[in-house]
Structure 1
Amino acid sequence: MPQLPLAGTDTPRRVPAAVPLDRFSRPLRGTFPLGVVALCVVLGRLLGSPLAFLYLLPATAALPALGRAGAPQVLAAGAAALAGVPALGWGQPPHLVLAASAGVLAATALTGRAVSRQRHQATRLDDLGRLARVTQAAVLPRPPESVGGVRLDARYLAATPGATVGGDICGAERTRFGVRLLIGDVSGKGLDVVSAAAETLHIWRELAHHEASLAGIALRLDTAVTRVHRSDGFVTALLLNVGDDGRMEVLSCGHPPPLLVRRGRATWLAGLEPAPPLGLLRLAGDRCPTAVLRPRAGDWLVLCTDGVAECRNRQGEFFPLAERVTALSVLEPEAVLDTLEDDLARHRGASVRDDAMLLLIRPPVREEPDVRGATSRTE
């Protein structure tokens, strides 16, 4: 099977870690309010305008509301502000001193209530977040680290911030025919695509255990997709079968081909004739051509969805996945995917329009290497 040449290498740069938002609120929970009170007292006395700074003390007591503070920090800020009242109010009219004291007490009470509500809401959001992550993992589970001797590593970048599921799917099943693998991209946006993706993955899992050929799985899935999705919906998918002897059979339904990494060089797998996406196989008369590959010792493959293969930056340049993988091939697979994930996030920036998934496969090798070309099958 011929191989495509590589354009060159380019060392990827990891995205620097974002500064935690919590860092900016920490001073507001510590000695910062006490320092503000001390500064007000000093400036008020030095400038001879204690009343002007006396009126700032209630605002000082409210500073913890701007950070993720607790009751002790609120009480400490209120006590510091209240202690500053006599220091600035010495020699001033009593009614002004009493008014400032009342303002500090009121600000402390309101701040305590606000902080309590804020922490209660944060706790509820954390609980909802954990529930959402568990639900998402149940709806579209990620493949395990190893299935039937095939080692897997996956990364997912959702187009929706905070989401861990979307239109991209992947699965791995050990069957009597070998280890069956799937990576796919369901067309559409929003919650509807999540439901369609989950049902598509569920149907594939059942077919993987009962259909003897990849073409048979593709044809049955094609029928299911036309039923599950709306009339114009489709699924691009890459189906793989890894036999006990290490032989790999690949079928592409409108999906980017695998990236073969051999001897430190990554090339797109050539000789793989793609069929139309699932839901549109009728356009090719249900023809499902497959390709066969016998990996060599040390070979591994990188599979991706359109969110990676068609990712562009602001200048319209595609993400150079093959070059990136070649430059990173000396690293451990987990480190490779971590770096690719960061590099891809940097490349596509904030204008994210599509989910992205990477799946790294390390197949077992049990026989001498040999690569054959593509063959056509129709079930």
Structure 2
Amino acid sequence: MLAALCATLGRTLDLELFLLPLMPAVAALPAIGRPSMRAVPAAGAAALAGVGVLGWGARPVNVVAALAGVLAVTALVRTAARRSRRQETKIARLGRLAQVTQAAVLPRPPESVGGVRLDARYLAATPGATVGGDICGAERTPFGVRLLIGDVSGKGLDVVATAAETLHIWRELAHHEASLAGIALRMDTSVTRIHHHDGFVTALLINVYDDGRVELLSCGHPPPLLVRGGRASWLSGLDATAPLGLMRMVEDRCPTAVVHPAPGDWLLLCTDGVAECRNPDGEFYPLAERLTSLCGREPTVVLDALEADLARYRDTGSRDDAMMLLIRPPNRQPSA
């Protein structure tokens, strides 16, 4: 289109000698932005046609120079387009490989474990990442369904490795330790070894028993939100002990709390990236109020809405990994 316009104006206004040298620039137009393999030959053909129109009656040396310029520019742009396409393909493959690797290192929990329904969401502090320092897990064990949500201190790739190892240790202990306190104390020793005494992991350990009871142990982690009767509130009566790796500071004290969920109750577990999320004005995200306003909707819809709301609310200058795990215990009541 541009070549035709230049050629038409050139012939009409007798500006052939002025516009003829511009034809190589027309051939270079596809290089603006992302070079397209289809646009390159089209632009080159249009530029050659423009040279033919504008060069009619011009000095041969000018026509030859314009033709050579168009062909050279077309070849260069075509080479750049091919290189760009190969690079995009390589990046796409690496992205898919990274997603598979991330899913293998820190897999998300299934939709249901032992009758407990689960829905999880993760907002990474690093754009494009799907893993970080936040972890969660769910295991069906001889002691009931056991759940974990945690937050590993620190930043960078080392945190991902530590998080994966911490999750692996919890999975093993969940099947062999009879109590949540036993799991916490042995994890505390392991975290101290992994972090070399200079890091810690906040964690919330949960045991959903077959009779419907839910036992919780908080290792420096935010309490869950209990959704009951259309209202969400922070669970009371759960005294937190020290984070994993720092329990020596509280002499290995591991208090637990027990909840008897009513039919239809939910529990929303979250990490600091949610519980301590602030906007640019320093105001905390009103999670309980937002969750209450979403009661009555499907859990997937609730988490989708909270995820979008958090992404808009949180301060882009002080982002942290954020994870939410919504659990729905089975509607079973303890026997009399």
**Fold similarity call, TM over 0.5:** yes
For 2:136, the equivalent position in structure 1 comes to 170
* Aligned with 2:113 (options 139, 147, 157): 147
Shift of 1:332: 1.4
CA distance in 1, matches of 2:197, 2:13: 77
Shift of 1:368: 6.8
Q: Is the 8 A contact 2:35 2:77 kept in 1?
A: no
Q: Is the 8 A contact 1:252 1:273 kept in 2?
A: yes
1:132 aligns to 2:110 (yes or no): no
CA distance in 2, matches of 1:367, 1:262: 16
For 2:76, the equivalent position in structure 1 comes to 110
1:322 aligns to 2:285 (yes or no): no
* Aligned with 2:3 (options 32, 37, 42): 37
Q: Is the 8 A contact 1:296 1:368 kept in 2?
A: no
Structure 1, residues 253-294: CA drift from partner, whole Å, max 9, x if none?
Answer: 110100111122111101110111011111111111111111
Shift of 1:40: 2.0
For 1:240, the equivalent position in structure 2 comes to 206
Shift of 1:69: 4.4
| Mapping of residues 347-362 of structure 1, within 5 Å | 347-362=313-328
* Aligned with 1:64 (options 15, 25, 30): 30
Residue 115 of structure 1 aligns with an amino acid whose one-letter code is: A
For 1:180, the equivalent position in structure 2 comes to 146
Q: Is the 8 A contact 1:178 1:242 kept in 2?
A: yes
For 1:333, the equivalent position in structure 2 comes to 299
Q: Which runs of 5+ in 1 are unaligned?
A: 1-34, 370-379
| Mapping of residues 1-379 of structure 1, within 5 Å | 35-367=1-333
Q: What secondary structure does 1:314 align onto?
A: coil
Q: What secondary structure does 1:153 align onto?
A: strand
Structure 1, residues 297-323: CA drift from partner, whole Å, max 9, x if none?
Answer: 111111110111111111111111111
Q: Is the 8 A contact 1:245 1:365 kept in 2?
A: no
CA distance in 2, matches of 1:36, 1:296: 71
TM-score by length of 1: 0.85
CA distance in 2, matches of 1:112, 1:38: 21
Moved more, 193-202 or 57-66: 57-66
Structure 1 segments of 4+ aligned residues over 6 angstroms from their partners:
none
TM-score by length of 2: 0.96
CA distance in 1, matches of 2:10, 2:125: 53
Q: What secondary structure does 1:350 align onto?
A: coil
CA distance in 2, matches of 1:317, 1:239: 28
Q: What secondary structure does 1:331 align onto?
A: coil
CA distance in 1, matches of 2:188, 2:73: 65
Residue 233 of structure 1 aligns with an amino acid whose one-letter code is: G
Q: What secondary structure does 1:71 align onto?
A: coil
Q: What is the number of residues matched between the two proteins?
A: 336
Shift of 1:46: 4.5
Q: What secondary structure does 2:38 align onto?
A: helix
RMSD of aligned alpha carbons: 1.7
Shift of 1:54: 2.4
Residue 244 of structure 1 aligns with an amino acid whose one-letter code is: D
Shift of 1:89: 2.3
